[in-house]
């Protein structure tokens, strides 16, 4: 269930109230005339089933509410109300399957941006993975996968391709284009320092280190696992089951592959470095392809739902007023 707080100019409030009044999955509709100060207007509050959130938000945006006022959306963690339960039952489908596209856009816009925090997490994840490779310790590799923030920009690229948002695509590509080289460079320097001060072996043979050898040997299963993880990642991003994202992060070897490139470069293991670069490219491309295909399927389902909603919902009866 979502709680919508809508600030709307008074001449437009009638359209908004009509729209929400006609929506079976909406309840607890409250209208406070003249309550808003900046911008001036009315305040409308309503609770709305998650399944219908995106189509109703699209209707509100068509009315010009986002240009003339504002729409704030809060998730209701739990509720105690028979009326709200009936509103949820009126909505078509399952809340877990519903995609709120405005929420997806907001999430990806926040996580796809290159900033110091993103770069720091990439470098730290790479360093943790590098130690795991040097010590041949799987738990450190898993920890590095969880720390790595690279799925945010990957999801941003998928959303940008489906929604045709070139600015988001460029921001996401920039984050990946800077983040991975930064992690590789940091690992290379760290390994050279480790060798110089004697805390790591003078020589490193990738073939004798199981984890490094696996990372540097991409095969069909590398593509298959990354593809499945891409589908799961987008599903966790677009559905109510966001807890699955942790499993996605520890299913693909993007961060370990970048770290293994740095380790190979520091020790002159160029075959291992090349294989790890291939592993990194396969994982990223598989994630993007799988994520984009998943979003396209969800978008097609939403388009059919939107068309049905428009046929069943009366259009506004009041003239739309623009300021």
User: pLDDT tens for residues 134-149?
Assistant: 998 899 999 999 898 9
Domain end point (choices 33, 63, 95): 95
Give the pLDDT score at 321: 43
Can you give the residue range of the structural domain that contains 270?
Answer: 103-305
Could you tell me the pTM of the whole model? 0.82
CA dihedral of 186, 188, 193, 198, whole degrees rounded to 10: 130
Q: How far apart are CA 253 and CA 183, in angstroms?
A: 14
What the block records as the tokens of 55 is: 């189509």
Same domain, 61 and 184: no
pLDDT 10s per residue in the chain (323 long)?
889 999 999 999 999 999 888 888 888 999 999 998 888 899 999 998 888 888 888 888 888 888 888 998 888 877 788 888 887 777 766 666 677 878 887 878 777 788 999 999 999 999 999 999 999 889 999 999 989 899 989 999 999 999 899 999 999 999 999 999 999 999 999 999 999 898 888 888 777 788 888 899 899 999 999 999 999 888 888 876 555 566 666 677 899 999 999 999 999 999 999 999 999 999 999 999 999 999 999 888 888 877 776 666 655 544 444 43
Give the pLDDT score at 244: 54
Same domain, 180 and 292: yes
Give the pLDDT score at 239: 75
CA dihedral of 270, 272, 277, 280, whole degrees rounded to 10: -160
CA-closest candidate to residue 4, choices 49, 68, 67:
49
For the chain, what is the domain count?
Answer: 2
Strand locations in 133-279 (E):
none
320: in domain: no
Q: How far apart are CA 106 and CA 116, in angstroms?
A: 20
SS3 label, residue 79: coil
Q: How far apart are CA 255 and CA 280, in angstroms?
A: 8
Give the pLDDT score at 113: 82
322: in domain: no
Domain end point (choices 45, 73, 95): 95
SS3 label, residue 34: strand
Same domain, 125 and 274: yes
**CATH number for position 42:** 3.30.70.120
Give the pLDDT score at 314: 57
Q: How far apart are CA 150 and CA 176, in angstroms?
A: 7
Same domain, 269 and 159: yes
259: in domain: yes
Same domain, 64 and 162: no
Domain end point (choices 79, 95, 111): 95
Same domain, 73 and 218: no
Same domain, 79 and 126: no
For residue 243, count CB atoms less than 10 angstroms from its CB and return exposed for 0-12, middle for 13-18, buried for 19 or more: exposed
| Count of C-beta atoms within a 10 Å radius of residue 175 | 25
């Amino acid at each position: 269930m979502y709680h919508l707080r809508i600030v709307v100019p008074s001449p437009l409030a009638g359209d908004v109230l009509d729209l929400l009044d006609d929506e079976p999955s909406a309840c607890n509709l409250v209208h406070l005339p003249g309550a808003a100060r900046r911008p001036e207007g009315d305040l409308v509050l309503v609770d709305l089933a998650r399944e219908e959130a995106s189509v109703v938000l699209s209707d509100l945006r068509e009315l010009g509410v986002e240009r003339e006022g504002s729409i704030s959306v809060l998730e209701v963690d739990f509720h105690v109300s028979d009326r709200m339960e009936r509103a949820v039952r009126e909505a078509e489908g399952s809340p877990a399957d519903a995609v709120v596209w405005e929420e997806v856009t907001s999430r990806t816009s926040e996580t796809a941006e290159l900033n110091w925090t993103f770069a720091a997490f990439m470098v730290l994840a790479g360093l943790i993975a590098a130690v795991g490779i040097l010590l041949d310790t799987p738990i450190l590799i898993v920890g590095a996968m969880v720390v790595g923030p690279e799925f945010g920009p990957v999801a941003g690229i998928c959303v940008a391709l489906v929604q045709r948002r070139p600015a988001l695509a460029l921001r996401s590509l920039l984050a990946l284009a800077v983040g991975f080289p930064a992690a590789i460079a940091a690992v290379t320097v760290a390994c050279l320092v480790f060798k110089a001060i004697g805390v790591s072996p003078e020589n490193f043979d990738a073939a004798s280190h199981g984890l490094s050898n696996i990372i540097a040997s991409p095969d069909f299963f590398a593509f298959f696992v990354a593809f499945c993880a891409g589908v799961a990642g987008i599903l966790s991003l677009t559905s109510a089951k966001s807890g699955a994202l942790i499993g996605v992060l520890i299913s693909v070897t993007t961060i370990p592959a970048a770290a293994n490139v740095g380790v190979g470069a520091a020790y002159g293991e160029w075959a291992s470095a090349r294989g790890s670069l291939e592993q990194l490219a396969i994982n990223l491309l598989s994630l993007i392809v799988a994520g984009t295909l998943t979003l396209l399927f969800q978008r097609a389902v939403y388009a059919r739902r939107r068309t049905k909603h428009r046929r069943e919902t009366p259009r506004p009866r009041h003239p739309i007023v623009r300021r």
